[in-house]
Amino acid sequence: MDFEFGLYPVVSVEFCSGRSPFYVLEQILEGGAKIVQLRNKVDHKKDIYEQAVIFRTITAKYNARLIINDHLDIALATDADGVHLGQEDLPCFAARALAPDLIIGVSTHNLAELKKAETDGATYVNIGPIFQTNTKTTATPPLGLEYLKTAKTSLPFSVMGGIKKDNIESLLQLGVKNIAMVTEITMAEDISGKTSELINEINRWNSLNL
């Protein structure tokens, strides 16, 4: 599937520097992002649903795709474009059976998980964490740049984990086209400006590797 999205901002409600996640989302979209993931690991499902309803309204205004982290039911209930599943969430094959037309992303941390996502019907996979990250509690150590040289997949993929403006070039040099980022965007003083800057950098490298 042709599903390249360049910059993939992830809005995690606990990493917005005290600002409203809806404000952060709108600033990201003002900066030019065309896909956004809502990730909420702290609130009750009802609250996440209500946030997703507002996210759907805002993303629709900007003609941007909305992906809901973890919760297939919320993605379906809010008419989101997709769901992103971790290894402890509903298995991809089960989600695909329930939602044959939905974008389904799967987090992977090793080659076995990568291959399983391919056979289970994922739309795209995320590979990570690449660098050390403090935005998610995980037992998985950073995979590093060397792993990306061996992590071949037939699916579109994004990378995530500890990615900042000063290490993004090392990923782009390896041919990575889709980069998921949290705090570098959501905790920036100028969210719109940071989003635009990152998009321009990714697009510049991608254009050199067409």
Query: What domains are there in the chain, each with its CATH number?
Result: 7-208 (3.20.20.70)
Flag whether pLDDT at 4 surpasses 90: no
Mean pLDDT in residue range 10-33: 97
Integer angstrom CA distances of residue 35 from 67, 112, 150, 152: 8, 27, 27, 23
Query: How far out from the chain centre does Cα 170 lie?
Result: 19
Mean pLDDT in residue range 82-109: 97
Alpha-carbon dihedral angle through residues 102, 186, 7, 71, given to the nearest 10 degrees: -10
Q: Which residue has the higher pLDDT, 206 or 52?
A: 52
* CA distance linking residue 155 with residue 159, whole number of Å: 13
pTM: 0.95
Helix 45-61 to helix 21-30 angle, to the nearest 10 degrees? 30
Check residue 194 and give its pLDDT. Answer: 98
pLDDT in tens, 129-187: 999 887 665 567 999 999 998 898 999 999 999 999 999 999 999 989 999 999 999 99
- CB neighbour list of residue 14: distance below 8 Å, 6 or more residues apart: 41, 42
Instruction: Find out whether 10 and 39 touch, Cβ atoms under 8 Å.
Output: yes
